[in-house]
C-alpha cells in the first residue's frame, strides 16, 4: 500500500519542490520511504508503506532495464512470482524482489496487455521517456483509487491516489461541483465519474489511460461476464472452496505480519478461518449489546480457531469527534455509517500489524443482499404482461402507501428504473425539496446506471442488480471507505474475495446458487461450512450496525447536529427549516429520519473541511486541527 502523485507539465519547469509538497499531503499512505523523479515534462512522487521486499531495492520511482520507462505503483500483485519466472525466461533482469518491478518489466514486454495478467489490486503510472507518453491504470474491481484532472490554470495534467494531493499545485482550481450534491443525497457516496471537485475525475476501474501531452484516451481492459453454467450445489461448493483457498494463499504473501478483520458475519469469518492469522481485530460500541456489538461473536470465533483477538469499544463521543478527520481522508463526502467504526478498527489493527485481510466483495460476487432475492410472489406476478403491471403500478402510486400498493408499484417498474444499489437514502423528490434551486437537477438517479445496465440487458434481474452493484456500489462506496480508512492509519487492507479466479467461480453460479428463496450467498454459505461452525455460516447479514438512530434522540447529539444543520454552510445549500423538521421529528420519535440527517450532516462536515476552513493534519495526531 503506497501513495502516488504526478504532474504532466505544460510550463516546461522542473517541479521538484512542488512534487514534494504534493507527496506530503498523502504521507499517511506511505510513511516508510519516499522518492521522486522530475524533468521538464514529468514529475512523479511516491510514498511507500513497505510490505514486499523491505530492502531499499523496492523503493520507487522504479526504472526499466534500459532506462526508458519510469514507474510509480500503488498496490499488491499476488501472482508476481509466477509472472517473474515467465519474464526471466524472456531475458529480463531484476534488481529487487518487489512485485512492482514485475509490473514494470511486464509492461516493457507486453504493453497494456500486461493488465490482463495481473492478479491483485493496483493503481500505477508509467512514463515513457522516448515517446514522452504517460500510462495510467487501475485494477479491475477499483480496490485502489486513482484521480486525475486536466482542468488546471496552467494546462498541467495532475493525477494521484488522493485528491488532496492536488491542493498544493498552484494551477489546481479548487471548485465545488454543483452537480454532485443531489445524486450524493440519494446514493450516500460520490456517484458520478466527476468528483465533488469540479474537473477532477476518477479513472474508472478496469480501465487504463494513455496521455501524449496533448490528448488522452481511456480504454477498458476488463469486464465481468456471467456464464451461470454451474447449477449443481456440490460442484459449486467445491469450486468456491478451491478458489478461496487459492486466493487466501496468494493474499497472505508478505514480508510483514498479516492479521484479519473479524466481525460476527460469514464473510470476514470465512476469510479469517482460511487465513488462520496470529491476530484478529474487532470493533463495537460502548453501552450497546446485541446488534450493535459483534465483538463478542468475533472473540468466540477467535477462541474456536485459537487465534488472538483484539477488540475495542468506541463511544458516541468518539464517533462524532472523528467525523471531520474521516471526511478529510475520504476526499469526498461519504455517508456510509460503517466508515467511522472502520476508521477506529484500522487504528486498532495498525497497533499490531501492517497488513489485514477483510471480507469486502463477497456480497456483490455471491449474492449477499436481500434485494437480489426474487420472492415467490414476485415470480408469479411477473408472469402478468408488463404493460398490464405498468398500468396497475400507475394506479397504485396514487393510493395510500402500504405493503400491497408498494408491491404493485414495484411490479410495474423495470429493474433498471428502480434499482440503483444498496444505499438509496433520499428519495429523489425529497432531495429536490430539501435543496436550494441552484443545486437541484432534473436527472434521475437511475440515469447514472443506464450505460451499465445496457451491457447486461439480456440478463435476469438478480444478475443485473449484482452487475450494477459491482460497477457502482462496490467501487464507489465499499472499496472507497476500505482504502481511505485503512490508509489513514498506514495500514494495508487486502480483499481476497475480489480476486479474478474467485470472480470467475462466482460468475459461473446459477442465480439460484447465489440469492434464492432459502438464503442469500447460498452456495458460499454451504462452502464456508467446511471451516466454520454452522451457526456462523448461516448467520444473517447485518452489515456494520451503528446506533446513530438512538444517539440522535439524545439531547447532546441532537444539539450538536442541529448546530450544523442550521449553519451558514447549510443555509447555502439547503432549506434548513426542512432539515430541522426531519431532526425534530426524529428526536421526538415521530419518524426515523436518521439516514437523511446523517447524510446531510456528513456533507456539511466535509464541506467545512475542504471549502470552509483552512485545514492541516497534525503529524502527532490523527485528528484534524483548524489553522
Annotated binding residues for ATP: 283, 358-359
Q: How far apart are CA 164 and CA 167, in angstroms?
A: 5
What's the order of all strands across the beta sheet hosting 207-211?
A: 62-63, 69-77, 120-128, 133-138, 207-211, 216-220
Residue-level length of the chain = 627
Q: Reduce the DSSP state of residue 246 to 3 states and report it.
A: helix
Residues belonging to the binding site for L-glutamine are: 99
Angstrom distance (rounded) from CA 75 to CA 115: 13
Q: What is the DSSP letter of 570?
A: H
Among candidate residues 1, 2, 342, 393, the one labeled active-site is 2
Helix axes 386-396, 403-411, angle to 10 degrees: 140
* 3-class DSSP state of 576: helix
**CA 25 vs CA 32, 203, 271, 350, 565: distances in Å:** 15, 20, 33, 20, 30
**Chain center to CA of 26:** 18
Q: Which residues, 6 or more positions from 44, have their beta carbon under 8 angstroms from its beta carbon?
A: 4, 5, 6, 19, 36, 37, 38, 61, 70, 72, 125, 127
Which string of DSSP letters, residue by residue, matches 475-536?
A: IIIIHHHHHHHHHTTT-EEE-TTS-HHHHHHHTTB-GGGTS-SS-SSHHHHHHHTTTS-HHH
- State the pairing for strand pair 216-220/308-314: unpaired
Say if CB 39 and CB 19 are below 8 A apart. no
Mark whether 2 is an active-site residue: yes
Alpha helices, DSSP H, located in 529-575: 534-537, 548-551, 555-565, 568-573
Strand partners, 147: 160, 202
Annotated binding site: 99, 283, 358-359
Instruction: Give 589: exposed, middle or buried? Use CB within 10 Å, 0-12, 13-18, 19+.
Output: exposed
Q: Nine-digit cell at 17?
A: 519542490
Q: What are the residue numbers of the active site?
A: 2
Amino acid at each position: 500500500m503506497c501513495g502516488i502523485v504526478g504532474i504532466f507539465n505544460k510550463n516546461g519547469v522542473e517541479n521538484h519542490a512542488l512534487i514534494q509538497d504534493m507527496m506530503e499531503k498523502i504521507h499517511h499512505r506511505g510513511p516508510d520511504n519516499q522518492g521522486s523523479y522530475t524533468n521538464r515534462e514529468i514529475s512523479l512522487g511516491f510514498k511507500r508503506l513497505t510490505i514486499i521486499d523491505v530492502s531499499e531495492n523496492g523503493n520507487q520511482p522504479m526504472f526499466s532495464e534500459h532506462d526508458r520507462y519510469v514507474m510509480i505503483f500503488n498496490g499488491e500483485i499476488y501472482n508476481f512470482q509466477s509472472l517473474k519466472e515467465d519474464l526471466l525466461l524472456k531475458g529480463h533482469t531484476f534488481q529487487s524482489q518487489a512485485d512492482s518491478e514485475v509490473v514494470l518489466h511486464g509492461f516493457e514486454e507486453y504493453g497494456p496487455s500486461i493488465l490482463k495478467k495481473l492478479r491483485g489490486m493496483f493503481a500505477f503510472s508509467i512514463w515513457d521517456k522516448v515517446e514522452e507518453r504517460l500510462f495510467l491504470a487501475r485494477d479491475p474491481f477499483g480496490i485502489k483509487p486513482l484521480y486525475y484532472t486536466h482542468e488546471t490554470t496552467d494546462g498541467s495534467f495532475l493525477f494521484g491516489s488522493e485528491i488532496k494531493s492536488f491542493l498544493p499545485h498552484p494551477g489546481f482550481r479548487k471548485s465545488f461541483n454543483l452537480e454532485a450534491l443531489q445524486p450524493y443525497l440519494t446514493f450516500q457516496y460520490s456517484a458520478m465519474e466527476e468528483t465533488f471537485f469540479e474537473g477532477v475525475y476518477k479513472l474508472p476501474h478496469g480501465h487504463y489511460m494513455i496521455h501524449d501531452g496533448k490528448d488522452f484516451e481511456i480504454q477498458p481492459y476488463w469486464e465481468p461476464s456471467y456464464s451461470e453454467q454451474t447449477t449443481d450445489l456440490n460442484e459449486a461448493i467445491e469450486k468456491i472452496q478451491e478458489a478461496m483457498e487459492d486466493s487466501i494463499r496468494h493474499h497472505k504473501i508478505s514480508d510483514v505480519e498479516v492479521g484479519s478483520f473479524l466481525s460476527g458475519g460469514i464473510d470476514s469469518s470465512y476469510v479469517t478461518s482460511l487465513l488462520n492469522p496470529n491476530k484478529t481485530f474487532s470493533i463495537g460500541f460502548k453501552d450497546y449489546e446485541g446488534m450493535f456489538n459483534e465483538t463478542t461473536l468475533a472473540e468466540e470465533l477467535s477462541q474456536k480457531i485459537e487465534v488472538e483477538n483484539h477488540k475495542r469499544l468506541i463511544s458516541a463521543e468518539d464517533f462524532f469527534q472523528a467525523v471531520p478527520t474521516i471526511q478529510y481522508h475520504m476526499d469526498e463526502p461519504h455517508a456510509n455509517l460503517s466508515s467511522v467504526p472502520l476508521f477506529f478498527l484500522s487504528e486498532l489493527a495498525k497497533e499490531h500489524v501492517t497488513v489485514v485481510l477483510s471480507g469486502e466483495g463477497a456480497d456483490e460476487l455471491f449474492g449477499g443482499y436481500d434485494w437480489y432475492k426474487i420472492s415467490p410472489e414476485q415470480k408469479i406476478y411477473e408472469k402478468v404482461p408488463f404493460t398490464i403491471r405498468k398500468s396497475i403500478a400507475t394506479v397504485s402510486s396514487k393510493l395510500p402507501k402500504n405493503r400491497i400498493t408498494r408491491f404493485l408499484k414495484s411490479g410495474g417498474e423495470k429493474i433498471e428504473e428502480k434499482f440503483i444499489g444498496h444505499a438509496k437514502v433520499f428519495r429523489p423528490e425529497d432531495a429536490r425539496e430539501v435543496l436550494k434551486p441552484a443545486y437541484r437537477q432534473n436527472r434521475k438517479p437511475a440515469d447514472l446506471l443506464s450505460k451499465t445496465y445496457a451491457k447486461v440487458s439480456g440478463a435476469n434481474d438478480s444478475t443485473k442488480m449484482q452487475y450494477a452493484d459491482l460497477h457502482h456500489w462496490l467501487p464507489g462506496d465499499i472499496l472507497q471507505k476500505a482504502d481511505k480508512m485503512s490508509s489513514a492509519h498506514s495500514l494495508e487492507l487486502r480483499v481476497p474475495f475480489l480476486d479474478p479466479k474467485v470472480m470467475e467461480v462466482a460468475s459461473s453460479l446459477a442465480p439460484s446458487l447465489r440469492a434464492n428463496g432459502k438464503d442469500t450467498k447460498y452456495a458460499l454459505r454451504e462452502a464456508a461450512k467446511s471451516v466454520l461452525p454452522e451457526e456462523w455460516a448461516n448467520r444473517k447479514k447485518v452489515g456494520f450496525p451503528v446506533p446513530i438512530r438512538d444517539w440522535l434522540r439524545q439531547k447532546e447529539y441532537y444539539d450538536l447536529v442541529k448546530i450544523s444543520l442550521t449553519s451558514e454552510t447549510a443555509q447555502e445549500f439547503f432549506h434548513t427549516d426542512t432539515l430541522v423538521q426531519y431532526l425534530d421529528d426524529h428526536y421526538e420519535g415521530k419518524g426515523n429520519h436518521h439516514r437523511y440527517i446523517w447524510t446531510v450532516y456528513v456533507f456539511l462536515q466535509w464541506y467545512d473541511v475542504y471549502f470552509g476552513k483552512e485545514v492541516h493534519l497534525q503529524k502527532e495526531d490523527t485528528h484534524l486541527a483548524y489553522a
